[in-house]
Structure formats: C-alpha cells, structure tokens
Amino acid sequence: MSLPKPRPDLAALEGYHSPQLDVDVRLNTNESPYAPPAAFVDAWLGALREVPLNRYPDRDARELRAGIAAALGQPAERVFSANGSNEVLQTLLLTYGGPGRRALVFEPTYALHAHIARITATEVVTAERAADFTISPTEAGVMIAAERPAVVMVCSPNNPTGTVESRATIEALLAAVIDHGPGLLVVDEAYGEFAEHSALELVADDVPLVVVRTYSKVWSLAALRLGFAVGPEAMIAEFEKTVLPYHLSAATQVAGCEALGFDGEMRERVGALVAERHRLAGALARLPGLTVYPSGANFVLVRVDGDGHALWERLVERGILVRDFSRWPRLDNCLRITVGTPEEDDALLAALRDALTKEAA
C-alpha cells in the first residue's frame, strides 16, 4: 500500500518554522509583552455571553468591519477581516494570484509572503533590497515593467529588518504598478502603528492598493487571530469568492469589536513600546560588535560582527530567546530582537554584555 503524495509543486516547500524554547525571556515572535486591558477581556466575555452559539456567525462580519472602517475613516465596504493577516494574505493571493500569475517580493522580507504565494500556486519573483534594506524604486520599476507581477508585496515596516519605506517609495511603486498593470500593490503593515506614516491614506476605490493590518502585534491579541485588509470596494467584494463561508468565528468578531473601544489604551502601549525601542536600540548600539539597523516596528535587527548563531546559543543558555536569522540568505549573522518590557530588555542587555565579553575572552 502506498499513501498519496501531495501536489508536486509543494515538494520544495517546508512548513513555517519559528523554534519555541522554554525560556524566561521570549523576545522572538514580535508579540506585545503586555496583556490587553483587563476591562477589554471583561467586555469581550460579557458580549460573548449574549451571542446565540447555535447560530452561524455573521458571514460578512458587518459590525466588525464597520467598526474597523470607522476607526480608520474609511467606508465599511473597503474592509475585509479574517483569521490573522496571514489569512487575509492567503485570501488575497487566492483571488488575485494563482496559476499563471506572479507575485513580486523584496528580499529579505517576511517569509510567509513567498510561502503563501506558493501554496496558492502563484509564481514568486524575487527582487533584492539595498544594503540598508530599503527598496530602490528605480530597480523595482524595472522589475515590475519586466515581470508584470499580478501582485507586488511590500512589507513596511519590514519584518525582519524593521525598515520603513518612505512615502515617496510607496508612491513610486504604486505608480509603476499602475503604469505596467493591471496589477496590485499590497502593503503589509503588520507593524504599521509603530511607524510614522502609513499607506492607508492612499487607499481609494480607483487605486490598485490594499493595506493589510493585524490585531496580533499592536493590539496585544496574537492569540485571537484577527487581521484585516483595506482596499478598493470592488476588490474587497471579490474576496467573498475565495474565503470559506463563516470563516471568522463569533468569538473573534465580538473581540475585534470590543477591542476598538480600548483604542486609547492600545495607543498608550504603542507609545510605550516605541519609546522602549529607542532605548533598546540605543543600548544595543553601544555594545561592541553589533550593528543595529533602524526600525519602525516593535523589534530591532542586529548584525553580529562574528558568529551570530553562536551568540544566539549563548543567549539561550542565559534564558533569553531572540529570533535567529543568522543563516538566512542576505541576513548573515543577524538576530531579531522583539521589544519587551523594560525588565525583559534589561535582562537581554545584561545577557548580551556577558555573552559578548565571554566571546571576546
């Protein structure tokens, strides 16, 4: 007897790997170090008690979409919500990518963009970021003209580098997509609230731009799995064809709605994390043997002058887990450090100081 084989085009793929170890200080997955406000949890559970659990949830998540839209000053018809921004991206690529179409990514970037493109049978075309990890609009324009991608994926702030593309770069990419279209520019703003500007302002019904955001990072709600897209009404309406019916549970919809009532608390958390990012980046820059890249997110990428993987191991020995990118193409000896609480970051800095001196000795 033999078991069936998966689709041949999946053979070269691996699942998503982000090793989890049991350590005291976990600074490896860019979650918020702070729990959501207790009053939010109470409000959510209270609202959930009123939900008729024998009924399917609202297929169109109308209340949630209207709430998100109102908070962003957009019409509800421009908003699509799903189980995490990863499901948003999958829906988007199932709808606008697929066989015979290409997605352009700028490496190094979020690995799931290329991965989700491949599992939706979208061909991946790779462009290179500059040494400072920014996207060159000129090179991108040449690439877009030559490859005619159906979808251009830009992550800003970029994971794992922290790089924020300038407004001018986003506008130039959009212009290239329009000139050589019909294509779509997707800006993944999973960390958008930590940065100083957003592509959201460019969204309009006649512009081929979709901005994707999540409740996982900024809203302290990674466990919930809720993300959303903002784009032209006519494109958002097409997602209905590829997303599974009733995909977003009532518990998630209600949580998303209730969370919007705690916007002030969320903004405070964002402010505190941005201030802490500045402090952490400054302290890291003063350590010997580390290059710190500018970040507009809730994490900082550093390049180790030496063996990055060995340093990662020495941090694990000291009870600290950061994300090891040291063996990734274009990210030799790089480690990505999520901004934690001041106590967690102090523990990281102490461990780094210790590990770097031991290495030197």
Q: Which residues bind ligand PLP (CB under 6 A)?
A: 30, 84-86, 110, 155, 159, 188, 190, 214, 216, 222, 227
CB of 145 to ligand PLP, least distance (A): 26
C-alpha of 186 from chain center: 12
In the bound state with ligand PLP, the residue whose beta carbon lies nearer, of 44 and 228, is 228
CB of 85 to ligand PLP, least distance (A): 4
3 state SS of 97: coil
C-alpha of 115 from chain center: 14
CB of 356 to ligand PLP, least distance (A): 27
Sequence-separated (6 or more) residues with CB below 8 Å from residue 254: 44, 47, 48, 51
Structure tokens at 199: 């592509």
Residue from 105, 56, 50, 32 nearest 299 by CA: 32
CB of 353 to ligand PLP, least distance (A): 28
Bridge-based pairing state of the strands 320-324 and 102-107: unpaired
CA atoms within 13 A on the CB side of 8: 0
CB of 200 to ligand PLP, least distance (A): 15
In the bound state with ligand PLP, the residue whose beta carbon lies nearer, of 40 and 314, is 40
CB of 88 to ligand PLP, least distance (A): 7
CB of 318 to ligand PLP, least distance (A): 26
In the bound state with ligand PLP, the residue whose beta carbon lies nearer, of 252 and 347, is 252
Residue burial 320-355, b: 16+ Cβ < 10 Å; e: rest: bbbbbbbeeeebebbbbbbbbeeebbebbbebbeeb
Angle at 298 between CA 140 and CA 23, to 5 degrees: 125
In the bound state with ligand PLP, the residue whose beta carbon lies nearer, of 31 and 359, is 31
In the bound state with ligand PLP, the residue whose beta carbon lies nearer, of 32 and 318, is 32
Name the E strands within 265-338. 290-292, 299-304, 320-324, 334-338
CB atoms within 10 A of CB 136: 16
DSSP code at position 109:
S
DSSP code at position 245:
T
In the bound state with ligand PLP, the residue whose beta carbon lies nearer, of 152 and 352, is 152
Nearest-CB residue for ligand PLP: 84
CB of 229 to ligand PLP, least distance (A): 11
In the bound state with ligand PLP, the residue whose beta carbon lies nearer, of 37 and 157, is 157
CA dihedral (130, 132, 137, 140) positive or negative: positive
* Structure-token match 């019904």, residue found: 205
In the bound state with ligand PLP, the residue whose beta carbon lies nearer, of 30 and 314, is 30
Q: How far apart are CA 151 and CA 356, in angstroms?
A: 43
